[in-house]
Structure 1
Amino acid sequence: MSAPPSDGLSREIRFFHRGEIVRLPDVPATRSVLDWLREDHRRTGTKEGCNEGDCGACTVVVGELPEHTDSPGQAVRGLRLRPVNACIRFMPSLHGKALFTVEDLRGPRGLHPAQQALVDCHGSQCGFCTPGFAMTMWASYENHGAAGTRPDRAQLADELAGNLCRCTGYRPILDAGQQMFDHAPVALDTAPVIAALRAIADASGAPRTLAELARRYAASPQARLVAGGTDVGLWVTKQLRDLGEVISVTEVDELKTIAHDAGELRIGAGASLEAAWAALAQRAPSLTEAWRRFASPPIRHAGTMGGNVANGSPIGDSAPVLMALDAQLELRQGERMRRVPLDDFYTGYQANRLEAGEFVQAIVVPDTAWARTIRAYKISKRFDSDISAVFAALAISLDGERVADVRLVFGGMAAVVRRAATAEAVLRGQPWSAATLAAAQAALARDFTPLDDMRASAAYRLRVAQNLLQRFWLETQGGTAASEATSIWSVA
């Protein structure tokens, strides 16, 4: 296959939309789905709010054939449906997929049950965010309908975590989310969608195998690799950066594989955040809240854990957990492969040990990591869909009453995510006691000199880190500091 144009254009992309296959030649590689819908296609039901994947006003639903996606959960009659943010989704990523917008929603009386329920429950005032809510609710309606389930309010709140409303509040919207299942059932006819997706030729110009991706990137190491675009998309929409040549990795199914073999869990770098977090939480249920609170479902469906780690944000929530699990990164440059411990990968703010033409191929977690007691704590101003002020991933192994091994990893405390080496040394080999805990808390001040910024002061961050270490100690002592004790859903 020949290389795509180097002028920032994509080869022809083909996707299903509004009952037909859409063919778009020479689409700019960083043209967002939102801009195409509103400016080129004149479909203005999808709104632009924050333009950074936070508010959900631009929510659309992407449908994929199950064999080309790693999304956990049941397919909807042969199709995977996932809500995503159109504002930071680049058009080439739609190749071979189906795009559904609010204009697609229909019901026996005109409105789809999700829309009718929003009307009946007074779930809309200004209406600006409503199309996004309707699309997320439609995906929930289809997914639960296919599974024969109905979500409770807590599940609906999780599913709607990527949609913000500042008018009605969430009570009437959650009411609508429950009431929509009481209407006469309306199901998406997936047969023509599936037939169209199977008819679309695999000629987008994007690499389709790992070997092809490696060759392409080795030949053009100055190019930008893009997966879900949930981070890189903001470089375009907010920083107005020209990414130059872009190589999409979304069609490399090998990169999406999650497998267990030879005593280790291997997460492909192209696996979605949702699938990757699900794999981690399956082995360590204590990570479930960190999974739920990582961004929002639309971000987790589109973004990848490999991208989150490779981009190296000092407040990225994946890296602390993976570092506490002794994860290694499998790096590839052409045919050459090597492994680097994650805690040795970052060299500075958004700087790492990747060489020219080298990329993250997989994240590898050894089975020995699961023997430790592990907790992950996120501190942010908002519970859902917010950036951490401090993120702590703490893991410990005890030999009787003594600390055999320990990992104390923090995000938001330095220019990079890193371990608290001094505090770990204070704990290792010592009794897991209140006195040793106090010494480790004091040592955190020697490990980190946090910054003051809009999210938190340096003093607050240090105190929070020390308090989280105490919470970890209390929970390992059989205390009652578990997150369930403070959940609003635990209140009768």
Structure 2
Amino acid sequence: MTPPISPQTLTFWRRGQAVTLDNVAPDRTLLEVLREDLHCTGTKEGCGEGDCGACTVVLGEAVGGQLQYKAINSCIRLAHSVQGMAVWTTEDLPSASGELHPVQEAMVQCHGSQCGFCTPGFVMSLFGMYQNTGGGQGIDRAQAQVELSGNLCRCTGYRPIFDAAQQMASLPLPAGCGVNEPVVVAALEALGERPAPPANGAYLRPTTLTRLLQDRCAHPRAQVVAGCTDVGLWVTKQHKRFGQVLDVTAAEELRRVETYPHHIAIGAAVSLHKAYAALVSERPPLKTFAQRFAGLPVRNSGTLGGNVANGSPIGDSMPLLIALGASVVLMRWDARRQAVAHRELRLEDLYTGYRTNVMRPDELLCWIKVPRPVETEFLRVYKISKRFDDDISAVCLAIRMTLDGGQVKTISIGAGGVAATPVRARQTEAALLGQAWNADSVMAAVATLRAEFQPISDMRASAAYRQTVLGNLLQRFWLESQGLQSINLESVSMEALA
């Protein structure tokens, strides 16, 4: 039965003024509102699932008196999630007299557009880069490739678009094209002072953890969202309807990464981009893997907490976090005691089956605790997918190991794409723990790992392929632990092959 839909007012900042829209259903996407209500048809709908980037817009949020910019996919972002933020679309960049913004002019001069369908999305991703680098300063080709990985183009081959990314800093900014950040920040802070939606509203986005847990207790059937990068697909592809939505991303306590002597705690509202930046700062070898998690617009919207709570068997975060020994903190509002209750468990113990978990209807996943690295650990995480960028894994394997006198002192292995849930390879860990770290013990463990799981065959890979690759990745881990890097394509440059 389709739940009753209760529309609600939405207000955000655009083109120098507050835009207020009445009767916006809680499950309408930002793209629908922009195109259908505001007639911003420059923002395109391509894939409807956050893959192609044609729908990219830029959000601005006032944080600590500063304006933070994020390029996001509007096709899978629920409209009410931008309440109180600033929104820029491709129509907003030229001056009132029609002069092009430097990101647009660079695309023209570098011939970065052919059929033009993807161009607005590329322009907005470039605009996000421009604002976050002080006018496009210092952008090299590698950075452009990483930050544009969420935008697809069938025509140009990308070279002229990368040229535009590097050239935009050298172009003048016409009068009327720039962002007056103090004015926008003041406007957003004023919007934040408006009365909050009613406690029984259709779209709940509380600003404190206590209120968030109370709302969950009062509305256990509301659809929880934390970035919408997966729930958005339920709307656009499965045509699901939600009568009430509970958004965790405004709870101030959960928007932080906190550092402690033995672990870091990542709040459930921390974006994937910020969460992976925290993990990379502690473990630099994770940089490439972090950049391969979808594209930047998805990482800007999605949260690590949402990725973990969603529990997809092909989600990339979970194998890594399992290997790192992460735990999750589940919290709820105890109405009888009028207090917050919580419990902590290892991440791999969260799941009970395909997209099912041990959480109570009134519980929320609030924190992910990740142990800090030790000096002797050797860590690798491998993502196998059909495309290098912006793709879903067929297999993901993460391994963390420490040695003592040539023997395996500790070993933890997380795997994705090989079972109904993200899993820990306990049998393989047991086969290696305490053993000499040599070719013989590794080959024995390879056989154990291949037999430990019974993956399925699907559109991404066959079961036999997945089992074979699991063993091959463990062999690769062994070879890399011995200093061999030439087998790693990430270490090979195109210049070296020329």
- CA distance, structure 2, for counterparts of residue 439 and residue 228 of structure 1: 42
Q: Describe how 1:419-430 pairs up with structure 2 within 5 A.
A: 419-430=424-435
Instruction: Give SS of 1:429's match.
Output: coil
Match of 1:266, SS state, is strand
The correspondence of residues 136-155 of structure 1 with structure 2, limited to 5 A, is: 136-145=125-134, 149-155=137-143
1:199 match:
190
Q: Give me the TM-score of the superposition, normalised by structure 1.
A: 0.93
Question: Given the alignment of the two structures, is residue 49 of structure 1 paired with residue 49 of structure 2, yes or no?
Answer: no
- Cross-structure match for 2:458: 453
Aligned partners of 1:227 and 1:307 also within 8 Å? yes
Where does 1:379-458 land on structure 2 (aligned, <5 Å)?
Answer: 379-458=384-463
Q: How much does 1:368 deviate? A: 5.7
Partner of 1:315: 314
Percent identity at matched positions? 49
SS in 2 for 1:65: strand
Asked whether the equivalents of residues 249 and 268 of structure 2 are also in contact (C-alpha less than 8 Å), the reply is: no
Q: Does 1:133 align with 2:122?
A: yes
1:298 and 1:123, CA in 2 relative to 1: closer, same or farther beyond 3 A?
Answer: same
Between the aligned partners of 1:488 and 1:381, the Cα distance in structure 2 is 19
Q: Report if the CA contact (8 A) 2:102-2:171 is conserved.
A: yes
Correspondence list, 1:203-352, <5 A: 203-205=195-197, 206-334=205-333, 335-352=340-357
SS for the counterpart of 1:127 is coil
Give the CA deviation at 1:12: 2.7
Q: What amino acid does structure 1 have at the position aligned with 2:6?
A: L
Secondary structure of 1:9 counterpart = coil
> Alignment RMSD, CA only?
1.8
Question: In structure 2, what is the equivalent of residue 486 of structure 1?
Answer: 492
Within 5 Å, give how 1:72-87 maps onto structure 2: 78-87=66-75
Provide structure 2 residue ranges, at least 5 long, that are not aligned to the other structure. Answer: 198-204, 334-339
> Residues of 2 paired with 1:243 and 1:395: CA distance?
40
1:152 alignment partner AA? D
- For 1:467, the equivalent position in structure 2 comes to 472
1:114 equivalenced with 2:103 (yes/no): yes
The one-letter code of the counterpart of 2:388 is F
Q: Which residue of 2 aligns with 1:74?
A: none
Distance (Å, rounded) in 2 between the aligned partners of 1:144 and 1:98? 19
Q: CA deviation at 1:67?
A: 3.1
Q: Secondary structure at the match of 1:145?
A: coil
Who is 2:337 aligned against? none
**Partner AA of 1:435 in structure 2:** D
Please name the residue that 1:158 is paired with: 146
Distance 1:318 1:284, change over 3 A: same
Q: Distance in 1 between matches of 2:219 and 2:375?
A: 39
Q: Letter of the 2:53 partner, please give it.
A: G
TM-score under structure 2 length normalisation:
0.92
1:99 to 2:87 alignment? yes
DSSP-derived class of the 1:88 partner: coil
Structure 2 counterpart of 1:110, which letter? E
Whether the 8 Å CA contact 2:137–2:169 is kept in 1: the answer is no
**Counterpart contact for 1:10–1:92, Cα < 8 Å:** no
Label 1:489 to 1:193 Cα distance change in 2 as closer, same or farther (>3 A). farther
Q: Secondary structure at the match of 1:48?
A: coil
Q: Do the aligned partners of 1:96 and 1:202 also contact (CA within 8 Å) in 2? A: no
2:5 touches 2:244 (CA, 8 Å); kept in 1?
yes
Name stretches of at least 5 consecutive residues in structure 1 with no aligned partner.
Answer: 1-5, 69-77
Task: Give the counterpart of 1:179 among 167, 170, 181.
Answer: 167
Question: How big is the shift at 1:304?
Answer: 0.4
Aligned residues: 477
* AA partner of residue 420 (structure 2): A
Q: Distance in 2 between matches of 1:111 and 1:437?
A: 59
> Separation in 1 of the partners of 2:450 and 2:472?
13
Counterpart contact for 2:10–2:20, Cα < 8 Å: yes
Residues 309 and 202 (structure 1 numbering): CA distance in 2 closer, same or farther, change over 3 Å? farther
Does the 8 Å contact 1:95/1:204 carry over to 2? Answer: no
